[in-house]
Amino acid sequence: MKRGQHLLVIAAAAAALTGGASLLGNGYYLRIAFMMCVYYMCAAGMNVLVGYAGQKSLGQAGLFAAGAYAMALLTTRTEMSPWIALIFAAVISGICGVLIALPSLRVKGPYLAMVTLAFGIVIEKLVSDWTDVFGGAQGISGIRPLTWNGHPFSPLQWVWFGIILCAITHLLLRNLLQGRFGRAMRSLQSDEIASSSVGVRVYRAKVVAFVVAAVTCGIAGALVAQQNQYINSDFITFDLSIFILLLVLFGGAGSIYGPLVGAVILTLIDALLTSWPSVQHFVYGFLLLFALYVMPAGVVGLFSKWFKRTKEEVLSWDRIAPTRPGLVGDGELLVVHGVTKSYGGVKPAQDISFRLQRGHIHALIGPNGAGKSTMINMLTGVVDPSAGSIRFLGQEIVGRPVHTICCLGIGRTFQNLRLFADLSVLDNVMLGRHSRMENGFFASLTALPSARKQELATRGRAMQLLDLVGLAHLASQAAGNLPYGLQRRVELARALATEPQLLLLDEPAAGLNPQETAELGQLLVVIGKSGVSILMVEHHMDLVMSISDHVIVLDYGIKIAEGTVAEVQANPRVVEAYLGVDEPIAV
């Protein structure tokens, strides 16, 4: 659905819901409807963190508390307007999101969940024990609610406001997640190394996800405090963190509509089980396990196949030059001097030096275990050399982050495919242009014209590159569903999308049949003629010798030869490394 159409649908749905709320004369039902809005706010942000960025958090109760107690303290101890206090509560929650993200993101997997859990427990103990500030079990009362025309919101007005706020949140997050930042976050779940190799600043993307989750959860906490005009430590429990996580997993993590489904269903279940707390906890535990093991894609995932498009999306683009020309001409592009890498007593690279020229196709060859892939990883920042210098375009790149090296103009593929398998072929290639897009967070969040222009330009460029590698007709297919040889082409197109001046290919012909290898060779020649210099690691000697201008040979981490194809073929050390020599037979 196009953005304009979606906006109209959401506006119509919000109008219908506000009208329907007017028919709920019972205050209890209005309270349930309001809590649906509150839980949706929590779940929508949590979905960004868990469903898109893949970061497991169990500390959302602490962020809920940040918003609630910020609102309580600002409205009871100052004369600040409740509307302004709501904004400040969101900001304070966002700051808390940064504070929890900084230590949390230095660990992964279950350790990340443990760190966020510890944060939630610390906040729970803080609000319960620091009674002078937070009131403990007695809590803080007299919180000033939102007002309209000088009068506090009625229960119906709270529901109206909640619906409008949820609609705005949905539209903003949809803008964010269907563009540059959404693709970057989803790439983190598949492969962080591949993500950084196409220019995604992995750490910053995770922090953004934490902040989004913190702000929405903090706003939800502030709304509860204002609506109740009271908050105490009983609101801030570990059960709340589990419930918010369950909202996302049950509804459908990674789906823009999953949080809505989870909030509606689980709020109704919560209301039905209020009188039986022990049963309530059992049901939550059962639903969490059920969501994890029986329907990992959530309720939305069960029905998503009914709404899949029955025909391929028609994509159009302008067919122009296949790649952006690099700096054509003579001169040195990359200078490697005295590079050494050691892992204890093992040295896959020993005092290696070479120079790559602009506009040339270079090959890095050698027997298995010669250190070729290690060299590629050092050139792209995945591995730091133990000694030596690597200068690209005159700049020292040793010690620089992977995404920075990509932005400088070095693109790469991997020896073992590192595609974002769950993303479409088109999204994989569009991710390659992440660092070349100029729209920032707020432009993407609000879908400013500049952001939409960038998105269209990136989409068009990606389609050009897919046309170059012969995959334009498969743009909407999941990359992981393609045959191996076609996946190799997707990875090549993604690397080209970074607009490199130097393209590093780590065994691009691995797993290809002879015809596919020949077609790859022709494609690399076309890319080279467009101004992109190439350094490829390859074992297919026919491919190497037919297209290379310059060959570098490694053996056990040592450079044993360098020169033209003819010079390398005639070098006795190269022959010995590949074929071995006959040992004299002892008599």
Answer yes or no: do 579 and 460 share one domain. Answer: no
Answer yes or no: do 570 and 469 share one domain. Answer: no
pLDDT one-digit tens code per residue, 70-88: 999 999 999 899 999 999 9
Answer yes or no: do 24 and 81 share one domain. Answer: yes
Calculate the CA 513 to chain-centre distance.
33
Q: Which two tokens stand for residue 433?
A: 């242009």
Q: Would 520 be classed as within a structural domain? A: yes
Q: Would 195 be classed as within a structural domain? A: yes
Answer yes or no: do 508 and 570 share one domain. Answer: yes
Answer yes or no: do 442 and 399 share one domain. Answer: no
Q: Would 414 be classed as within a structural domain? A: no
pLDDT for position 314: 42
How many angstroms separate the CA atoms of 74 and 94, rounded?
A: 16
Answer yes or no: do 43 and 155 share one domain. Answer: yes
Write down the pTM of the prediction: 0.87
Answer yes or no: do 462 and 587 share one domain. Answer: no
> Among 329, 316, 378, which residue's Cα sits nearest to residue 352?
378
| Boundary of a domain, candidates 471, 499, 527 | 499
Q: Would 277 be classed as within a structural domain? A: no
pLDDT one-digit tens code per residue, 171-196: 999 999 999 999 999 999 888 999 99
pLDDT one-digit tens code per residue, 299-321: 888 776 555 543 444 455 554 44
Q: Would 346 be classed as within a structural domain? A: yes
Q: Residue 587: give the domain boundaries.
A: 329-409+501-587
What is the domain count for the chain? 3
Q: Give the least confident one: 115-119, 179-183, 254-258, 413-417.
A: 115-119
> 324: pLDDT confidence band, cut at 50, 70 and 90?
very low
- CB count within 10 Å of CB 26 equals 9
Show the DSSP H helices in 48-81 as ranges: 60-77
pLDDT for position 581: 53
pLDDT for position 282: 81
pLDDT for position 21: 87
Q: Would 204 be classed as within a structural domain? A: yes
Q: Would 324 be classed as within a structural domain? A: no
pLDDT one-digit tens code per residue, 222-267: 999 999 999 998 888 888 898 999 899 999 988 999 999 999 999 9
Answer yes or no: do 437 and 381 share one domain. Answer: no
- CB count within 10 Å of CB 491 equals 25
Answer yes or no: do 494 and 552 share one domain. Answer: no
Across residues 82-99, what is the average pLDDT?
A: 94
Q: 149 — alpha (psi -120 to 50), left (phi > 0) or beta?
A: left
- For residues 209 and 105, the answer to whether their CB atoms sit within 8 Å is no
Answer yes or no: do 201 and 219 share one domain. Answer: yes
Q: What is the CATH number of the domain that holds 359?
A: 3.40.50.300
Answer yes or no: do 163 and 17 share one domain. Answer: yes
Highest mean pLDDT among 110-114, 321-325, 541-545: 541-545
| Boundary of a domain, candidates 477, 499, 521 | 499
Based on its alpha-carbon atoms, the radius of gyration of the chain, rounded to whole angstroms, reads: 29
| Boundary of a domain, candidates 184, 206, 237 | 237
| Arithmetic mean of pLDDT over the chain | 87
pLDDT for position 325: 43
Q: Would 281 be classed as within a structural domain? A: no
Answer yes or no: do 338 and 473 share one domain. Answer: no
